[in-house]
């Protein structure tokens, strides 16, 4: 593992020793504690071959989650690969905000626009077994990943997928809450992102236009025009976009605008509501 850690260090990967241990744990099926106890024992050839292959992938900055094929989000396991953004802990703040805004009534309908892996939608449906929802996703590959995650969590009856742009989706007027993690990275910044993001996350899920706000303008306008009165909207934002997104939502006539931070203390969520009258 020392050699792998050295390779990772040269590749610019943070916490190289930890990553090497995690990959060996993944390759061997042993916990890190078990690996320490067996440190004096020779590594079986098949485990060594698997480990070396994984080290080569990680050295090329393939995300660990893609190598493992799974990741954890909101206490749940999700299939993760290059078809959609890797679910990240920062986005859990979106789920928490949505749960606070969602009325405590059974039979409600929610929608996740640009659902990607389906992590936001699934986390909400698992937490609220009395509601149903739709993931709207224009990219067929991402939608197929969402479908796999929906099936993995046994939500086929309560979760639907609409494989189309959100502007063409006809269900706006029937939902009781709308969530989205839209693309919000400024176009000029995309090329400077970490390789794990820049090379392996879909560009369409990252690039938010020249100022990173294109999707919010579209979503605000569609929300104002199509949502039923009183419906809350909850959007993930970039750490420096709170003021701009608030202004966009206010200009569209949405009210009760608020925001929340993620666990790192960065602005991460903005919400608003379609006026009641």
Q: What is the count of structural domains for the chain?
A: 2
In a domain, 70, yes or no: no
In a domain, 93, yes or no: yes
Specify whether 97 is located in the same domain as 181. Answer: yes
The arithmetic mean of pLDDT across residues 103-123, rounded, is 97
Domain boundary among 36, 60, 84: 60
Which residues are annotated binding-site positions? 114-118, 137, 166, 181-184
In a domain, 7, yes or no: yes
Specify whether 47 is located in the same domain as 170. Answer: no
Range name among 31-45, 68-82, 145-159 with the lowest pLDDT average: 31-45
Q: Is the pLDDT of residue 81 over 70?
A: yes
> Residue 225 sits in a domain of what CATH number?
3.40.50.150
Specify whether 12 is located in the same domain as 85. Answer: no
Look at residue 2 in the predicted model and tell me its pLDDT. 65
Specify whether 8 is located in the same domain as 79. Answer: no
Per DSSP, the three-state class of 66 is helix
Specify whether 127 is located in the same domain as 238. Answer: yes
Specify whether 79 is located in the same domain as 40. Answer: no
Place 181 in a pLDDT band, splitting at 50, 70 and 90: very high
Strands 177-180, 232-236: pairing kind:
parallel
Specify whether 137 is located in the same domain as 224. Answer: yes
Specify whether 218 is located in the same domain as 101. Answer: yes
Torsion of Cα atoms, 218 then 223 then 224 then 225, to 10°: 90
In a domain, 196, yes or no: yes
Q: Is the pLDDT of residue 76 over 80?
A: yes
In a domain, 131, yes or no: yes
- Give the whole-angstrom CA distance, residue 47 versus residue 70: 19
Which residues are annotated binding-site positions for S-adenosyl-L-methionine? 114-118, 137, 166, 181
The arithmetic mean of pLDDT across residues 220-242, rounded, is 97
Domain boundary among 16, 31, 60: 60
In a domain, 67, yes or no: no
Specify whether 109 is located in the same domain as 11. Answer: no
Give the chain's mean pLDDT: 93
Q: Is the pLDDT of residue 42 over 80?
A: no
Which residues are annotated binding-site positions for substrate? 181-184
- CA dihedral (170, 212, 203, 115) positive or negative: negative
In a domain, 68, yes or no: no
Which pLDDT tens digit goes with each residue over 117-169?
999 999 999 999 999 999 999 999 999 999 999 999 999 999 999 999 999 99
In a domain, 202, yes or no: yes
The fraction of the chain above a pLDDT of 90, given in percent, is: 80
Strands 232-236, 255-261: pairing kind:
unpaired
Question: Taking the CB of residue 201, how many other CB atoms lie within 10 A of it?
Answer: 22
Which pLDDT tens digit goes with each residue over 193-209?
999 999 999 999 999 99
| Nearest residue to 248 (alpha-carbon basis) of 205, 218, 209, 273 | 218
Specify whether 125 is located in the same domain as 195. Answer: yes
Place 39 in a pLDDT band, splitting at 50, 70 and 90: low
Going by C-beta distance under 8 Å and a sequence separation of 6 or more, which residues neighbour residue 141? 83, 84, 202
- Give the whole-angstrom CA distance, residue 3 versus residue 11: 13
Specify whether 109 is located in the same domain as 142. Answer: yes
DSSP character at residue 185: B
Structure tokens at 200: 């392996």
In this structure, what are the phi and psi dihedrals at residue 31, rounded to the nearest 5 degrees?
-75, 165
Which pLDDT tens digit goes with each residue over 12-37?
888 888 888 889 889 888 777 777 67
Q: Domain range spanning residue 267?
A: 75-273
Strands 267-273, 232-236: pairing kind:
antiparallel
Specify whether 53 is located in the same domain as 95. Answer: no
């Amino acid at each position: 593992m020392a050699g792998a850690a050295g390779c990772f260090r040269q590749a610019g990967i943070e916490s190289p020793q930890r990553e090497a241990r995690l990959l060996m744990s993944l390759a061997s099926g042993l916990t890190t504690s078990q690996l320490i106890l067996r440190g004096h024992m020779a590594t079986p050839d098949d485990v060594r071959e698997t480990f070396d292959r994984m080290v080569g992938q990680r050295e090329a900055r393939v995300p660990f989650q893609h190598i493992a094929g799974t990741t954890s989000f909101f206490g749940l396991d999700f299939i993760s690969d290059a078809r959609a953004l890797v679910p990240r802990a920062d986005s859990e703040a979106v789920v928490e905000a949505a749960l606070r805004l969602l009325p405590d009534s059974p039979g409600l309908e929610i929608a996740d626009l640009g659902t990607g892996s389906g992590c936001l939608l699934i986390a909400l449906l698992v937490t609220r077994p009395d509601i149903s929802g739709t993931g709207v996703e224009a990219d067929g590959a991402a939608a197929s990943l969402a479908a796999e995650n929906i099936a993995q969590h046994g939500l086929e009856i309560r979760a639907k997928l609409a494989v189309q742009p959100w502007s063409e989706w006809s269900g706006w007027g029937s939902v009781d809450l709308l969530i989205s993690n839209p693309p919000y990275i400024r176009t000029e910044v995309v090329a400077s992102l970490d390789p794990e993001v820049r090379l392996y996350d879909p560009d369409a899920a990252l690039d938010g236009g020249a100022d990173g706000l294109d999707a919010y303008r579209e979503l605000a306008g569609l929300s104002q025009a199509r949502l039923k009165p009183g419906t809350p909207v909850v959007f993930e934002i970039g750490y420096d976009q709170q003021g701009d997104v608030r202004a966009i939502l206010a200009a569209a006539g949405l009210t009760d605008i608020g925001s929340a931070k993620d666990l790192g203390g960065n602005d991460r969520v903005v919400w608003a509501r379609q006026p009641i009258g």
